[in-house]
């Protein structure tokens, strides 16, 4: 994407009522919507997050499907989620928001038990050992997710990375977490949940075109 196009999208994001772009300091010190996201949406509907949302395909698709739930896509790349934010506005989806911030600040952006469900869609697997701290299902991230999730909250991991799938499964089993569903190739399994196969991200379509298997894990943290 050209820098001119990126700048145009950044400028448009600033005018979108469904986009929030706080400074890092603002999130860390005292974020105004932490524990008060119901005020942003104007209702008390349950909230689902898409972390590392990219173009926001899941955020928008789930919002269409569940009008009585709220959805927030989070990514540091605002030029990417511009597409999702714009689509939501064009379709009049008032249950959608996008937030530009780092994923590691998620427990500063949301209060304890404020979230019902989390989707992690095609994260960078960070395969090198020294990058373990950046893997979005590492123990530190799981602690953050558990804090903001309601007691029976769900986490979904969808990835093309066998490494990420195996790493996460092993970690969850070692910690005694509740694995509700896991499969290494969801499109070859007729029993895969509809939400997993009905929506395909931009990158997922590219992976499928070259015959790459898509993996999925659904779990609860205790």
How confident is residue 7, by pLDDT bands cut at 50, 70 and 90? confident
pLDDT single digits (tens) 135-185: 999 999 999 999 999 999 999 999 999 999 999 999 999 999 999 999 999
Catalytic residue among 44, 75, 124, 185: 124
So what's the pLDDT on residue 5?
85
pLDDT of 44 reads 96
Q: How many CB atoms lie within 10 A of CB 215?
A: 23
pLDDT band for position 202 (cuts 50, 70, 90): confident
Residue closest to 33 by CA, chosen among 72, 83, 69, 75: 72
C-alpha span between 74 and 52 (Å, rounded): 6
Helix (H) or strand (E) holding 86: helix 78-90
Catalytic status, residue 124: yes
Q: Chain centroid to CA 83: how far? A: 15
> Which pair of structure tokens corresponds to residue 188?
């070859």
> What is the tens place of the pLDDT at every residue in 61-120?
999 999 999 999 999 999 999 999 999 999 999 999 999 999 999 999 999 999 999 999
Q: What is the mean pLDDT of residues 19-46?
A: 96
Q: How far apart are CA 157 and CA 37, in angstroms?
A: 24
The pLDDT of residue 2: 64
- Which residues, at least 6 apart from 70, have a Cβ–Cβ distance to it below 8 Å? 37, 41, 43, 45, 46, 47, 48, 63, 95, 96, 97
What's the predicted TM-score (pTM) here?
A: 0.95
The pLDDT, as a whole number, for residue 168 is 98
HSE value, Cβ hemisphere, 13 Å, CA-based, for 28: 5
pLDDT band at 1 (very low <50, low <70, confident <90, very high): low
For residues 10-32, average pLDDT: 94
Q: What is the pLDDT of residues 35-70, one digit of tens each?
A: 999 999 999 999 999 999 999 999 999 999 999 999
The full DSSP string for 151-183 is EEEEEEEEES-HHHHHHHHHHHHHHT-EEEEEE
Name the token pair of 50: 């898409």
């Amino acid at each position: 994407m050209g820098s001119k196009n990126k700048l145009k999208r950044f400028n448009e994001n600033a005018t979108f009522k469904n986009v929030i772009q706080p400074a890092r300091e603002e999130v860390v010190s005292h974020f105004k919507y932490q524990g008060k996201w119901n005020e942003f949406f104007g209702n008390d509907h349950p909230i689902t997050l898409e972390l590392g949302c990219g173009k926001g395909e899941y955020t928008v698709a789930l919002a269409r499907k569940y009008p009585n739930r709220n959805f927030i896509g989070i990514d540091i790349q605002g030029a990417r989620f511009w597409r999702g934010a714009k689509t939501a506005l064009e379709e009049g989806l008032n249950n959608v928001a996008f937030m530009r911030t780092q994923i590691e600040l998620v427990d500063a952006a949301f209060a304890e038990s404020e979230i019902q469900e989390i989707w992690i869609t095609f994260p960078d697997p960070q395969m090198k050992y020294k990058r373990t701290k950046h893997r979005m299902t590492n123990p530190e991230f799981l602690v953050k997710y558990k804090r903001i999730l309601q007691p029976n909250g769900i986490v979904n991991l969808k990835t093309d990375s066998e490494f990420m799938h195996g790493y996460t499964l092993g970690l969850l089993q070692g910690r005694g977490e509740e694995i509700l569903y896991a499969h290494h190739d969801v499109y070859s399994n007729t029993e895969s949940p509809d939400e997993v196969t009905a929506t395909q991200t931009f990158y997922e379509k590219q992976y499928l075109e070259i015959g790459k298997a898509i993996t999925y894990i659904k779990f609860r943290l205790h």
